[in-house]
A and B are shown apart, each in its own frame.
Chain A
């Protein structure tokens, strides 16, 4: 597929609304479990195909690659404008991949399957929308659109303390985003008064002249919304609860995608709109990121719930990403975005594996598990691989991102980078504790040898299908990250120059 033919279709809209169409169809055929799950798979698969076409077919250029722009609510100056550059392309692709995984991992969903798949698809629309929108209100719309499906996914299909977790997730993120809404409106009004044109378009709003105080205030609003989502210490406490209680698909989406929307928001909106305030905030971001790296790694070490460990590890990894952003140079940013994608794949994979584990043993408790390599060797091999990737073993995906972040960050914050490197030790500590608790040792309390319940089945065909691509991705991104770094280079250098847009 060539560049020209791609742009002739409204391909961005297509990729954006396809999942929504899937949602509606799922609700329509809600009485057939079979139809719903295949619909969900087909839809996410179609999105994946489209995303791959884009990824392969589009050139690596710094600016927007494709744009769509239509009037929507002229009264407020809101436009339906979508645009895709290297960064969004990458994240949309990640979304497409992980959503297929999310559908596959919930293939045997028994409770209200139609609603479940519908919500997963709706979530996909929301996430892709966030990555594509360039009108601030449109962006906000998708930003909030992600919340409701996630709320339901956690609240309805979650584990034990799900309602608490769901509401906590919802309130944390919403508190942040309402601040952002206020800031967006203020910015819009200031811009309108200055130029006479009331518009929410990113390009226009970037031209706004702001006094330092106001800029800082508005930036604070944006920042709050995004760092809660990322999440940065001390706004992270929703995450362990949400990740832990969410069903598998929910955890995958949360860790793999929702956290990324926060980072994306920072680099696409918060930084370019308020360049001076952003510069001033970098030390703060770096400090918080560093605290997060340590703090989360420490807490992860004493958790007994596997999911909780992985959840806290996400906080630590996101700390690395933010540290990279705070370093504000090409190297660190490329690393940060790379790490973001890598984290999506590895943590997504881990959550998938934990779901499989829970399916088989009914437990996620490190104290009760153990010796899985004996009964589930293939599962265990994958588990080990993803854990190693997560702890940053060179040659697997996360390392490439982490080392770039550290190399870049060292140029600006040598001490912070050196300390952050220490975080890698802690990540080894808690990750190996998980490996120890799940794979090694004698068979856990849950099963004594000879127990009939203990004869777990190793991976079935669907699970192989699910894990192999992810594992390949983990290795591929580890040894040949150029695939991703290449398209990122141009957009990042544009963003760093402060222009941010072509």
Chain B
């Protein structure tokens, strides 16, 4: 590995080293200010990814440094920064150690950045595990909370098993094709015939299970609501957006490289997408807990994303990436509002907790409503064009069935997205005391709100940008 390659990987290195440094220094100077330092490091990494042009196109045959990768490094770094900003007050009231928390989030961002940039199966594996391990800790970070511990346990066990699947799947593919590097691995797989090819496909199936777990596709989604519910709200925000988004970001080049092999997997992916949309929607309908509802709804969104992935090509991938960003922004906003509503003793989750909050905290409630409506795909919020892109891609790519299921689930989804809004604005005000939020949370929420609205009204630049990132 040359210096040039190190320079090319600079953003990730900044994140990793920064995290380490914070961890070390935090041991000597425990303070919650380290979270702000983490924000700074994440921003530096984002800037670095944006302005320092990498000298080499690929690092060690593992990670790409192309514009696509850089873009996602920026996105995940910013996400990390936002998530840390959300955590500032949260960590304070729940007495979370600042430096550890901050460094873990940075590690996660680093891992996501690596995953999105992966060009080989090893890179994929490493990136994935880098942030999965972090999440094991983060989810159970609120030690005194039994629900946190249970959520952590579930994620840990499931994650570990998924890792097993992933590792075995990768090893089978490697055995069949003789390469980890992405185009070659599949080219090799295509050239082999008979038994080896079958082994490769089995490997693919195993990888799909692992990915299905990560992004919570039905039927691998069952952990999602439990973990969302148990994890601290800012961590859930990161989990719901980054850990899923990074996987999809990595899958885009992966599937592009897949070539004709995709035909073998088409039916499986179709079923997974359809199942995710349907199961997620149905399970979300009777939910009365906001976090669990968002969990199930994320299953639905993963179904939409998978549709985009299935369509592939420039149109499908652009739609997917746009959808991914739209989903991430809105989800971050929603969980951001949740964490800003949290108090020392409780974190509101049940709908009854939100009764009439809309007039007590109009701004944050509006942001929550906007996020939910954007997730539902109501214009003029960004979610509309995202859904529009996915549906038109599905129709264009010859998947009218998925488009139809998508439309139907979008319709049904309104029921569960509107329920919290109804509770917020259309029910009697509770006389309970105010839920004050912090300044940093407001910054994040304002950014999310602005993005939801602006991208909803004028998505053209982002669409162009995404189009230019794709090959």
Contacts and interface: CB of A to CB of B under 8 A. Distances in A.
A217 to B, nearest CB: 11
Interface in A74-125: 74-76, 112, 115
B467 A185 contact: no
B404 A185 contact: no
B460 A148 contact: no
Contacts of B391: 181-182, 185
A76 B380 CA distance: 16
Interface stretch (B95-103, B139-147, B409-417): B409-417
Contacts of A76: 388-389, 392, 463
A281 to B, nearest CB: 22
B460 A174 contact: no
Interface in A182-236: 182, 185-186, 188-189
A189 B467 CA distance: 19
B47 interface: no
Interface stretch (B18-26, B233-241, B275-283, B418-426): B418-426
A175 B426 contact: no
Nearest to A73: B460
Contacts of B418: 151, 167, 170
Contacts of A170: 414, 418
A147 interface: yes
A179 interface: yes
Interface string B346-379: 0000000000000100100000000001000011
Contacts of A30: 362
A144 B379 contact: yes
Interface string A30-54: 1000000000000000000000000
A144 B414 CA distance: 13
Interface in A121-144: 137, 140-141, 144
Interface residues of A, number: 35
Interface residues of B, number: 33
B469 to A, nearest CB: 13
B467 A75 contact: yes
A145 B426 contact: no
Interface string B258-282: 0000000000000000000000000
Interface string B307-322: 0000000000010000
A156 interface: yes
B384 interface: yes
B199 to A, nearest CB: 39
A174 B414 contact: yes
A75 B411 contact: no
Question: Counting chain B CB atoms within 10 Å of each CB, which of A72, A148, A174, A189 scores highest?
Answer: A148
Contacts of A112: 359
A145 B395 contact: no
Contacts of B388: 76, 137, 181, 185
B396 interface: yes
A163 B422 contact: yes
Contact of B407 (A166, A167, A181): A181
A6 interface: no
Contacts of A156: 425-426
Nearest to B359: A112
B315 to A, nearest CB: 10
Contacts of B385: 73
Interface in B423-471: 425-427, 458-460, 463-464, 467
Given A75-B463, A141-B384, A175 B392 contact: no
Given A185-B395, A186-B395, A152 B379 contact: no
A74 B460 CA distance: 7
B160 to A, nearest CB: 41
A155 B395 CA distance: 35
Contacts of A494: none
A162 interface: yes
A183 to B, nearest CB: 10
A163 B426 contact: yes
B403 interface: yes
A166 B426 contact: yes
A429 interface: no
A484 interface: no
Interface string A165-179: 011001100110011
Contact of A189 (B396, B404, B411): B396
A178 B426 contact: no
Contacts of B380: 141, 145
Interface of A: 30, 72-76, 112, 115, 137, 140-141, 144-145, 147-148, 151-152, 155-156, 162-163, 166-167, 170-171, 174-175, 178-179, 181-182, 185-186, 188-189
14 contacts: A72-B460, A76-B388, A76-B389, A145-B380, A151-B418, A155-B422, A156-B426, A170-B414, A181-B391, A181-B407, A185-B388, A185-B391, A189-B392, A189-B396
The 5 closest A-B pairs by CB, nearest first: A155-B426, A75-B463, A141-B379, A185-B392, A73-B460
Given A72-B458, A156-B425, 6 more contacts: A73-B460, A75-B318, A163-B422, A167-B418, A170-B418, A179-B407
